[in-house]
C-alpha cells in the first residue's frame, strides 16, 4: 500500500514538473517573439546606418583619388568621359581613371563584388536587378560636356558645390552634365530618411536630406561648378 502511494506521489510530481516546464517554454517563446518584434526596427536602422557609413567611406576614397589626380595634372580633374588611354580608342570615363589610379581590378560592365569602392552597399534599394550596377556614384560636370576637364580653381564656391553624388538609375553612367532637379532619376536618396551622401569640391562630405533640400538649392549646388 505504502509503495503504491509513494509511486502515485512520484508520478504526480513528475506531471507537475512537466507542466511547469511546458508553461515556461511557452512564456519564453512569447518573450522571444515580443523582443524580436521590438528590436527588429532597431536592428534594421543599425544595419542601414552601417551601410551609410560604408558609403561615406567609399566617397571619401574616391574624392581623395580625384584630388590626387588633380595634383598631378595642374589642378585638373579627369573628364567625365573620353580621358586618353592607350587601351581604349575612345578614351575612358572618370571612374575607370580612378580604377587605374587606385589599382582596383576592372570587372567589366557589371561588377560581381558589392564591397567595391564604386558600389554603395545600399544599392539594392535602387537597383533591383540581380546584376550589380557599374557605378552607383556620379561626378558632377555641369556647365560643360562630359569630355571637358574641370579645374578645381574654376569653382568660386567649393564648399557649396557638389563634386560627387549618389547616382540613380539614369545617373549610373557616372556623370551629371546639367543642373538636374533633386527628384530626377540621376540622383538617389537611398539612405535611411531619404538621404544621399555628397562630396563637395572642397573635399568635405555631407549627408543631404531630400525633404530639407529644395530643388533650387540642390540645382545651385550643381550649377555652381564653373562659376
Is residue 52 within 8 Å of 207, Cβ to Cβ?
yes
Give the tens place of pLDDT for each residue, 76-116.
999 988 898 877 777 888 888 888 888 876 554 445 454 57
Residue 8 has pLDDT above 50, yes or no: no
Does residue 25 form part of some domain? no
Number of domains in the chain: 1
In a domain, 12, yes or no: no
pLDDT at 58: 93
Interior angle at CA 57, CA 53 and CA 60, nearest 5 = 135
Q: Is residue 35 assigned to a domain? A: no
Residue 135 lies in a domain: yes
Question: Nearest 5 degrees, angle CA 81-CA 71-CA 121?
Answer: 55
22 in a structural domain: no
Could you give the angle at the alpha carbon of 209 between the alpha carbons of 123 and 192, nearest 5°? 45
Its domain, for residue 90, covers 48-226
Give the DSSP letter of residue 105: P
pLDDT at 104 (0 to 100):
74
pLDDT digits (tens, 9 = 90+) for 185-197: 778 899 988 999 9
pTM of the shown model: 0.76
What local confidence, expressed as pLDDT, does residue 6 receive? 57
Residue (of 157, 159, 155) closest to 202 by Cα position: 159
Amino acid at each position: 500500500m505504502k509503495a503504491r502511494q509513494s509511486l502515485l506521489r512520484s508520478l504526480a510530481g513528475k506531471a507537475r514538473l512537466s507542466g511547469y516546464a511546458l508553461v515556461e517554454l511557452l512564456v519564453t517563446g512569447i518573450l522571444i517573439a515580443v523582443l524580436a518584434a521590438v528590436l527588429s526596427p532597431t536592428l534594421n536602422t543599425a544595419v542601414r546606418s552601417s551601410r551609410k557609413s560604408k558609403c561615406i567611406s567609399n566617397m571619401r576614397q574616391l574624392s581623395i583619388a580625384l584630388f590626387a589626380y588633380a595634383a598631378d595634372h595642374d589642378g585638373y580633374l579627369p573628364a567625365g568621359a573620353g580621358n586618353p588611354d592607350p587601351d581604349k580608342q575612345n578614351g575612358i570615363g572618370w571612374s575607370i581613371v580612378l580604377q587605374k589610379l587606385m589599382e582596383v581590378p576592372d570587372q567589366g560592365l557589371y561588377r560581381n563584388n558589392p564591397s567595391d569602392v564604386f558600389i554603395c552597399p545600399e544599392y539594392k534599394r535602387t537597383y533591383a536587378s540581380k546584376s550589380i550596377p557599374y557605378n552607383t556614384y556620379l561626378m558632377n560636370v555641369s556647365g560643360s560636356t562630359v569630355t571637358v576637364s574641370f579645374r578645381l580653381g574654376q569653382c568660386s564656391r567649393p564648399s557649396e558645390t557638389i563634386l560627387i553624388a549618389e547616382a540613380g538609375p539614369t545617373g549610373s553612367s557616372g556623370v551629371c552634365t546639367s543642373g538636374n532637379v533633386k527628384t530626377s532619376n540621376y540622383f538617389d536618396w537611398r539612405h535611411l530618411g531619404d538621404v544621399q551622401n555628397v562630396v563637395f569640391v572642397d573635399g568635405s562630405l555631407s549627408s543631404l536630406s531630400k525633404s530639407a533640400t529644395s530643388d533650387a538649392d540642390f540645382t545651385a549646388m550643381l550649377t555652381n561648378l564653373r562659376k
